[in-house]
Structure 1
């Protein structure tokens, strides 16, 4: 099974099915009237992914409590026994999340990702399968089965005789090979129809005094990253109908995780998919192209949705720019540096990766190991070597690219020093690095931070756990540092001189893969597939960058020229198997602007 499926699944935990039922022999059984769920309700359920037991001792399983006020469009969602709480209303919302060993509150403006969501999909049109036994009780079984090309999906809803949800089960397999694709189980523990207590939608006490994000601009609905991540945990239906190309996408490996909360949502996403498909086709038809584009899992994502969940820094910039325009000020350049004379919102200038914290005592002096740069080879490629990861990881719908970039540099440094290849825990960095260094400009966790802070935290903590001991889950959690074994230790990190291509090449050659940042805000990059990426609008100054990756090589193409080779954290389904070649002209989208390397300390690990 492809490694790191866990990260993808946790971020896209959803039950997928077609709303077009197929005939079933049992459908002739005298069927009771399908239940109609209340517009307002409370429901508790546990989401379990049985097949993940093959990846770790216990299957992934997490509890969710969901409250809905259908009359006023308000929702409250609690996960992991209320360690994370998200409240969304038409006008504002609060997000309570773990920070080390305590909770912290963030406030945001209205967001539709939760206020329109349901936790109980309608079973109108499903086939009744009769009565069966489950959890020591007799239940009614309703079923949908769907088949599109080679993929077959089986979707079952077990409902008690008094019309309460008991279990929602989905299993997909390849109809030709029979190979396993995915399986999800939602076991409902409690369903209480009726309006939840008003207090459930009130501002939490912890949020008193927390400033609500200002409205951005007329007609603009801001998108909150936490809301995007939370909505991924709701069991919804993947609709089909009316758009053959989009339906094919939903049945492909790229779109199989998508589900919709309504047919309106289906049509909106189908329109996005159509625009992206047209853009890709037009680009690939160009004779002067240096790279190709292809459809991938971002094919039906809305722009703000992508930025909020994957590139939170770029999203914050965009929101401040919209706010500035609304206020009649000089607009901040989206994806570019912010003029200090412009007040673009209530945040300080965003996380500039070139700004070191005065609190950081773990930065080492840059020390090239190769004295004569003329000895540098024309090409370096660590891809597939022991200094590279064994598999391309996936940050899922969490703005944790900085943690993946940090572990990439540390994994490389550890291999170069010891010859040991290991996967280090991004989740530990996400959970435990809060408050390390000057974090006023970079929120941290799934809301984004900086790679050097991740490495600095590991140095201060005396080491970091392996991925297998502290597994990735695609969302913030309480720090479990003291309960996991340290697998690798480091003495610090160093920054390579900015925009010095020779210095970056030397560090890459002598020290292995590096943590770097880049401008990833362009749609052309989002759908990159092969070749040497060249985007004329790419920014390159340190303050312009919004995504962290791992630099694993450099070289020259006979037709496309000099390039950098980077490894992304968007799974091996993105790009060229998860990798990308970026033209070195015009400073390569910022790749050489803020490169850093880690320094391993094998003696810091006790035998």
Structure 2
């Protein structure tokens, strides 16, 4: 007799639980939607950061994102998480601990002849940070290792790597980007300029551009696509130990790093960033160009972002070093420049010199 009463009672509780979950789900969805559609920058949050004595950095309502919603900002964070199996199978290089490193280092002054190191670019409306970090670092390394001042094409990598690198403007994998540079190379920026030249400086712009098509033809009729290609020798990860990262930059030049972005990063203006408040929004890739220590004794990394000079400290930012802040020391990728195609350039230059002489 008891079992006949228990069955309907159990069914009742199951139905009650299911209806509660439906109601909770219905309530949770608008909250999420409300958050995504709210402005990424709020005066109250900037005030909260600036009044926090532990922050160590200054927040501001950066013009770059003054009209952005959280959802629009999230689209710029284009680093997809690497499969752990892939990370394990890719060796991470390290450097001898005996290598003495300076307390402060800035690639812009160390290789002052290399104009690309100090360039601040703009990824515009596209989640192409994964491509920018790789191509910018390789451009710098061509100058550092071969004394060739050249700007390489982010557009080539973004448009032509396809599903091998990820999803183009909807995000990609830095390590796969470097593998594309090693196997397929990229042409010069002059041959294939970045598709979004407008950037996002105009009010109310909508960052929702589709990935550009892979054309494989230089915009200038005087240049040949294949001859314009520049390659990386290899693609490798750098060990997450801060000494190894510093040694890699010191010996070979800037590297690409990926890290987790929280809401408060959008507010960064100056100082040494560390996460203070806000939700996790996604992964972002940038170029690491140096390191140092503040007068207060805080160690930091120096990085170049690609959100134009309106954002941050003239386009740059510092982030806490040695504590793996936001995972900044976990995902460091690079490659050395290749002499492939450079031999032809040198030969052509010699021939031209002989003719003109």
Q: What is the match of residue 304 of structure 2?
A: 567
2:228 is the alignment partner of 1:486: yes
Which residue of structure 2 aligns with residue 456 of structure 1?
Answer: 179
Distance 1:551 1:299, change over 3 A: same
Is residue 264 of structure 2 the alignment partner of residue 524 of structure 1? yes
2:5 is aligned to: none
Q: CA deviation at 1:507?
A: 0.6
Does the aligned pair in 1 maintain the 2:260–2:282 contact within 8 Å? Answer: yes
The answer to whether 1:592 aligns with 2:329 is yes
Provide the C-alpha distance between the structure 2 equivalents of 1:400 and 1:421, rounded to a whole number of angstroms.
Answer: 23
Q: Are 1:378 and 2:74 an aligned pair? A: no
TM norm structure 1: 0.44
Which structure features the higher share of strand residues? Answer: 1
RCO comparison, higher one (Cα < 8 Å, 6+) = 2
Match of 2:353?
none
Are 1:511 and 2:252 an aligned pair?
yes
Query: CA contact under 8 A between 1:373 and 1:506: conserved in structure 2?
Result: no
Residue from 571, 575, 579 that aligns with 2:316? 579
- Report the Cα distance in structure 2 between the residues aligned to 1:311 and 1:493, rounded to whole angstroms: 22
Deviations 1:509-554 (A, max 9, x none): 111100110111x2221110001112257999xxx97111111111
1:563 and 1:357 map into 2 onto residues whose CA distance is 25
Separation in structure 2 between the aligned mates of residue 444 and residue 292 of structure 1, nearest angstrom: 34
In 2, Cα distance between the equivalents of 1:387 and 1:353? Answer: 35
| Partner of residue 290, structure 1 | 56
- The answer to whether the 8 A contact 2:78-2:130 is kept is no
User: Deviation digits for residues 403-459 of structure 1, max 9, x if unmatched?
Assistant: 0011122112212211122221111111000133xx6xxx42100001221221122
Match of 2:21 in 1: none
Q: Aligned pair count?
A: 294
Corresponding residue of 1:218? 29
CA offset digits 1:244-271 (Å, max 9, x no partner): xxxxxxxxxxxxxxxxxxxxxxxx87xx
Aligned to 1:146: none
1:393 aligns with 2:121: yes
Task: Indicate how the Cα distance of structure 1 residues 430 and 217 shifts in structure 2: closer, same or farther if over 3 A, else same.
Answer: farther
Residue 480 of structure 1, CA deviation: 2.1
Decide whether aligned partners of structure 1 residues 357 and 481 sit closer, same or farther in structure 2, where only a CA change above 3 A counts. farther
Deviation at 1:374, TM superposition (A): 4.7
Q: Which structure 1 residue ranges, 5 or more long, are not aligned? A: 1-214, 226-267, 314-349
The structure whose residues are more often helix, as a share, is 2
8 Å CA contact 1:539–1:590 kept in 2: the answer is no
Q: Distance in 2 between matches of 1:413 and 1:493?
A: 13
Deviations 1:283-317 (A, max 9, x none): 2244443110112221232112211x21256xxxx
Contact 1:293 1:529 in 2 (8 A): yes
Paired residues for 1:406-485 under 5 Å: 406-436=134-164, 443-461=166-184, 463-474=185-196, 475-483=210-218, 484=225, 485=227
Q: Does the Cα contact within 8 Å between 2:139 and 2:152 map onto a contact in 1?
A: yes
Distance 1:490 1:594, change over 3 A: same
Instruction: Give SS of 2:285's match.
Output: strand
Q: Determine if contact 1:519/1:538 at 8 Å carries over to the other structure.
A: no
Following superposition, the deviation at residue 587 of structure 1 comes to 1.0
**For the Cα contact (< 8 Å) 2:78–2:128, is it kept in 1?**
no
Q: SS in structure 2 opposite 1:602? A: coil
Indicate the RMSD between aligned Cα atoms, in angstroms: 3.3
Question: In structure 1, the residue corresponding to 2:108 is in which secondary structure?
Answer: coil
Q: After superposing the two structures, state which structure 1 stretch, 523-532 or 380-389, moved more.
A: 380-389
Q: 1:304 aligned to 50, 71, 75, which one?
A: 71
Q: Which runs of 4+ in 1 moved over 4 A?
A: 220-223, 536-540
Runs (5+) with no aligned partner, structure 2: 1-25, 197-209, 219-224, 346-357
Deviation sequence 1:342-369 (CA, Å, 0-9, x none):
xxxxxxxx632755389x9xx787364x
Q: CA deviation at 1:473?
A: 1.7
Once residues 162 and 27 of structure 2 are traced to their aligned partners in structure 1, the CA distance between those partners, rounded to angstroms, is: 28
- In 1, distance between residues paired with 2:84 and 2:276? 23
Alignment correspondent of 2:86: 356
Give the corresponding residue for 2:288. 551
Mapped partners of 1:502, 1:373: distance in 2: 10
Aligned partner of 2:14 in structure 1 is none
